[in-house]
Amino acid sequence: MNLTYLRIDLVRQLRDVANLAFVIGLPVVMYVIFGSTFGDGGEMARNGNVQFYVMTSMAIYGASVATTSIAGMAAIELMQGWGRQLGLTPMRPMGYVATKVVVALTVSAAAVAAVFLAGLLTGAEATSAGVWLLSALVAWLGSALFALYGLAIAQSFRSESAVSIASAGLVLFAFLGNLFVPLSGTMLQVARFMPMYGYAGLARWPQLEGTVIGTGPDVPSSQDSFGGLILNVVIWAAVFAGIAAWAVQRGRQRQ
């Protein structure tokens, strides 16, 4: 990576106040809304209370939005001629992609930190500092999966609307991936095959240790295996990387 370009691009992202307000502010607002709705009273869910569960979920969403949008814009920049400009410099395409991933993870770290800070100030509780730290760390690093997703969508559609399409798909993945509202029955079985499910399950693991919270007293909790959640993330990472590689190859053949 070129550290000078990394610094310039990071400063550029930080100057985009509207995007930062969306990426960081939206999950905080959603946490406040969902946390007060589902977490009133401080009910405990294994190693943390319900507010902590909602906080982790909203941090996952905010981090995913950040990495999806920034990775998607990187692909658009390359298609609009920035790749030819970079060809005049010592930076190689993989260095460019690595730089964008670092920038995306930096912004997603800010989103996770903002949501966890809001949770700390509004009643989110866990049994130990380790639960806080591990949940935040997985929510942050796991968002790299959706950097691949953003790249795959942008390379496939090859238009400025690709980022909007990716963002809309992310909302759908979040709902179907058991992120916003606890699912049960057939919907929960479908959710286990969604790309958001494994990532969310791993981020919640320090608190829930694989327990899937039911939707009410008549719906018992179920259990996920750690290996199954890892497998979900690995498979979807391979799928998104494969789609991106195929789309790049297709574009080169057309040129």
In a domain, 254, yes or no: no
* Nearest alpha carbon to residue 69 among 14, 9, 173, 149: 149
Structure pTM? 0.89
Distance between CA atoms of residues 62 and 21, nearest Å: 11
In a domain, 77, yes or no: yes
Q: What 8-state DSSP symbol labels residue 177?
A: T
More confident residue, 7 or 137: 137
In a domain, 182, yes or no: yes
Rounded to 10 deg, the angle between the 26-38 and 93-121 helix axes is: 40
**pLDDT tens digits, 142-156:** 999 998 898 888 878
Among 13-22, 74-83, 119-128, 192-201, where is mean pLDDT lowest? 74-83
Q: Sorting pLDDT into bands at 50, 70 and 90, what band is 215? A: low
* Nearest alpha carbon to residue 223 among 204, 243, 250: 204
In a domain, 234, yes or no: yes
Q: What 8-state DSSP symbol labels residue 78?
A: I
Domain extent at residue 203: 3-249
Q: Residue 218's pLDDT is what?
A: 55
Mean pLDDT, the chain, integer: 85
Q: Sorting pLDDT into bands at 50, 70 and 90, what band is 78? A: low
Q: Sorting pLDDT into bands at 50, 70 and 90, what band is 33? A: confident
Q: Sorting pLDDT into bands at 50, 70 and 90, what band is 174? A: very high
Radius of gyration of the chain (CA): 19
Distance between CA atoms of residues 177 and 88, nearest Å: 43
More confident residue, 231 or 73: 231
Question: Which residues are within 8 A (CB) of 81 and not within 5 positions of it... i.e. 6 or more apart?
Answer: none
Q: Is residue 87 predicted with pLDDT exceeding 80? A: no
In a domain, 191, yes or no: yes
* Neighbour count for residue 193 (Cβ, 10 Å): 13
Q: Is residue 214 predicted with pLDDT exceeding 60? A: yes
In a domain, 255, yes or no: no
In a domain, 180, yes or no: yes
Number of folded domains that form the chain: 1
Distance between CA atoms of residues 197 and 234, nearest Å: 12
Q: Is residue 224 predicted with pLDDT exceeding 90? A: yes
